[in-house]
């Protein structure tokens, strides 16, 4: 029973974090989707990055853009820069792990593109470097963070959008991040295709 209560508590805690985010995140998520669509309609693309579970989230987002979310549509230009083990190991080995995303952003990013930067602490150095690189490339940054937003919240420009999940526990932040990602996918499809 103790174990069952523990499991139940995870559900209740996750629901509470998401409930609190309804008011803080709905407007900036909608704005983020509009910015992403504007970039895609101008022949731009979305680059996505993060570490660990957030790397998985970056890949999850890119897969739903490139393939599909819930509706049939042409693929949309998104690349998770967390997946090429040759590029990642070469950059980490020859330079520094801090540069694994920023080198790719500088190589692939164009003005008007979007960087989806994901970090639960807001402090991962390679994500921070990717944001600096995106600014150099005149890209918009949409940052998915947690806790107090960390360093990422401090370095965003006025044009960027911070989607911060204001809670301490990494798992709860990640669970809300994946909800945000699905909201973005749904909003992008709604803007492009209309519907219910």
- Does residue 53 touch Zn ion according to CB under 5 A? yes
Binding of residue 112 to Zn ion (CB under 5 A): no
Please classify residue 67 by burial: count the beta carbons closer than 10 Å to its beta carbon, then call 0-12 exposed, 13-18 middle and 19+ buried.
Answer: exposed
The response to whether 94 counts as a known ligand-binding position is yes
* Contact (CB, 8 A) for 32 and 161: yes
Nearer to ligand I22, 44 or 146 (CB): 146
Contacts 24+ apart (CB under 8 A), 189-195: 189/69, 189/70, 189/71, 189/73, 191/33, 191/34, 191/37, 192/37, 192/73, 193/71, 193/73, 195/71
CB of residue 105 vs ligand I22: minimum separation in angstroms?
16
The answer to the question of whether 64 is labelled as a binding residue is yes
Is residue 60 a known part of a binding site? yes
Minimum distance, C-beta of residue 106 to ligand I22, in the bound complex (Å): 20
Does position 28 interact with Zn ion (CB under 5 A)? The reply is no
Binding site, annotated residues: 51-53, 60, 64, 93-94, 119-121, 124, 174, 182
Give contact residues for Zn ion (rule: CB under 5 A): 53
């Amino acid at each position: 029973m103790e174990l069952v209560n523990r499991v139940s508590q995870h559900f209740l805690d996750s629901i509470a974090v998401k409930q609190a985010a309804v008011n803080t995140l709905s407007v900036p998520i909608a704005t983020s989707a509009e910015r992403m669509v504007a970039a895609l309609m101008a022949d731009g693309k979305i680059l996505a990055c993060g570490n660990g579970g957030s790397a998985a989230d970056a890949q999850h987002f890119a897969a739903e853009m490139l393939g599909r979310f819930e509706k049939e549509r042409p693929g949309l230009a998104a690349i998770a820069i967390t997946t090429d083990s040759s590029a990642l190991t070469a950059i980490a080995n020859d330079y520094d792990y801090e540069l694994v995303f920023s080198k790719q952003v500088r190589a692939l990013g164009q003005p008007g593109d979007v960087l989806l930067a994901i970090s639960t602490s807001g402090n991962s150095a390679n994500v921070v470097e990717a944001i600096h690189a995106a600014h150099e490339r005149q890209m918009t940054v949409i940052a998915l963070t947690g806790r107090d937003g960390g360093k990422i919240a401090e370095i965003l420009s006025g044009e960027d959008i911070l989607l911060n999940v204001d809670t301490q526990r990494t798992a709860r932040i990640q669970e809300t991040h994946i909800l945000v990602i699905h909201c973005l996918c749904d909003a992008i499809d709604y803007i492009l295709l209309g519907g219910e």
